[in-house]
Amino acid sequence: MTGYGRGECAAKGAHITVELNTVNRKQAEVSLGIPPELESIESELRDMILASVSRGRVNGRVALQHSGASRAVSNAVNEGQARAYRRELVKLAKSLKMPDNLSLETLLRLPGVLEPSEPTLDGKAFRAPAKRALGQALEALQAMREKEGANLGRDLAKRLAGLRRVAKRVARRAPAVLKQHRERLIERLNNANVETPGADDERLLREMVYYTDRMDITEELTRLDSHFA
């Protein structure tokens, strides 16, 4: 069944959105797009999808948006770079016979001394909200698939009822086909100016037996009825 589901959850300074859609396949397949921060829990999310969807290809997308607080950038001091600057500036001051009055504030402004760094996020910290968002998406997805399945079921039931009616009409008409064939055979003989055989004529009887065997559809009707069950 085809379907679509969306879920979202906000927690721990982040907003997680999960979108799922399915197309028909004989087996269950999962294609999941996931941000790097959540790769550590990707297998858990896949298992959760496969536990809910037994057939069909599931295409999923997980989005993670951080709030300003969760993505606050901090600065790390490159002490080695600062010492190198200090050493070279002291040498330069002595060479130029200038006072060594280099302040820490000036030193921190020099390139490479302060290095911005983003916090490392642990995907497992988002396990619970990610699973809640995925659970919502799966619930919506299954609801749509069940609705589609119910509609298809009603349509198939209607078509099946029509086929049953046709099969019954065929079964009722089958005995008349043999009589019609006999009449057409006699008519062709008359048109060819051939003497019309009697009802007990051996040649006519052989022809009718042969035709009856070829046109017997009892087995086919029985087999068809078994498919309706």
**Could you read off the pLDDT of 169-180 as tens digits, one per residue?**
888 887 777 677
Do the beta carbons of residue 60 and residue 19 sit within 8 Å? yes
Same domain (yes/no): 163, 221? yes
Same domain (yes/no): 59, 11? yes
Same domain (yes/no): 224, 169? yes
pLDDT number for residue 131: 94
Minimum mean pLDDT range among 163-167, 178-182, 209-213:
209-213
Domain containing residue 220: 159-228
Q: Are strands 3-11 and 74-77 parallel, antiparallel or unpaired?
A: unpaired
From CA 53, how far away is CA 28, in angstroms rounded?
7
**Residues 90-128: tens digit of each pLDDT:** 888 888 878 877 788 887 778 888 877 655 556 678 889
Q: The whole model's pTM is what?
A: 0.58
pLDDT number for residue 213: 67
Residue 12 backbone zone (phi > 0: left; psi -120 to 50: alpha; other: beta): left
Do the beta carbons of residue 123 and residue 37 sit within 8 Å? yes
Same domain (yes/no): 169, 97? no
Same domain (yes/no): 171, 217? yes
Same domain (yes/no): 79, 52? no
Question: In the structure encoding, which two tokens stand for residue 224, read together?
Answer: 């068809």
Same domain (yes/no): 39, 93? no
